C-alpha cells in the first residue's frame, strides 16, 4: 500500500544523484543576474504611485479644488510663527493664571484649596476657545477610497491642535 503522500521516485533519484546542488547554483545565478533597468523602472513606478497617493490625499483634504488657483493660499510666515508657538503660549498663560490663582487663595485650607483649584482648571478647560477653523469642501475622491468621516476627524484634530485650516506648501 502506498502512503497517502505517495512515493516520489524522481525526488529520491534527484537526491541520490546530488542534483539539488546544481539546481541551487542555477537559482542563485538567476537571482544575481537581475536587469538593473527593470529594477530602476519598478522603483520609479512605485515612487510615482506614492506621489500620486500623496497628491490625492492633499487634494482630498483641501476639498478637491478644480484648478490650482482655487487651492487655499500657502501659510504666511506670521501664521507659521503663531502656529508654532500657539500651544506653548496658551499653556504659559494658563500656568501664569493658575500661579496667580494659587497666590490669591494661599490662605484657604488645603482640602478647600484643592477643590477650588480643580474647579478653576475645569472652568478654564471648558471655556477654551479653539481658533476659527475653515474646513474644506466635502468631496468624495475616487482615487483614494477614504470616507468623509476620516477627513472630518482629521480636520477636528487639526483644529484642536490650533490651526485655522488645512493647507500645504505647494508651488503652482
pLDDT in tens, 49-75: 888 887 777 777 777 766 666 666 777
Q: What is the mean pLDDT of residues 144-153?
A: 83
Q: What is the mean pLDDT of residues 94-106?
A: 92
Q: What is the mean pLDDT of residues 141-156?
A: 80
DSSP collapsed to 3 states, the chain: CCCCCCCCHHHHHHHHCCHHHHHHHHHHHHHHCCCHHHHHHHHHHHHHHHHHHHHHHHHHHCCCCCCHHHCCCCCCHHHHHHHHHHHHHHHHHHHHHHHHHHHHCCCCCHHHHHHHHHHHHHHHHHCCCCCCCCCCCCCCCCCCCCCHHHHHHHHHHHHHCCCCCCCCCCCC
Q: What is the pLDDT of residue 2?
A: 47
pTM comes to 0.45
Q: What is the pLDDT of residue 111?
A: 92
Amino acid at each position: 500500500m502506498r502512503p497517502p503522500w505517495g512515493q516520489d521516485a524522481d525526488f529520491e533519484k534527484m537526491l541520490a544523484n546530488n542534483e539539488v546542488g546544481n539546481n541551487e547554483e542555477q537559482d542563485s545565478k538567476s537571482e544575481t543576474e537581475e536587469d538593473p533597468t527593470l529594477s530602476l523602472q519598478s522603483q520609479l513606478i512605485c515612487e510615482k504611485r506614492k506621489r500620486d497617493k500623496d497628491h490625492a490625499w492633499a487634494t482630498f483634504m483641501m476639498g478637491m479644488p478644480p484648478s490650482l488657483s482655487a487651492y487655499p493660499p500657502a501659510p504666511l510666515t506670521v501664521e507659521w510663527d503663531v502656529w508654532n508657538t500657539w500651544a506653548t503660549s496658551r499653556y504659559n498663560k494658563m500656568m501664569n493664571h493658575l500661579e496667580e490663582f494659587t497666590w490669591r487663595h494661599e490662605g484657604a485650607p488645603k482640602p478647600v484649596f484643592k477643590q477650588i483649584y480643580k474647579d478653576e482648571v475645569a472652568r478654564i478647560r471648558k471655556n477654551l476657545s479653539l481658533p476659527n477653523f475653515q474646513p474644506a469642501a466635502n468631496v468624495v475622491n475616487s482615487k483614494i477610497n477614504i470616507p468623509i468621516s476620516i477627513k472630518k476627524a482629521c480636520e477636528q484634530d487639526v483644529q484642536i491642535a490650533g490651526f485655522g485650516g488645512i493647507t500645504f506648501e505647494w508651488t503652482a
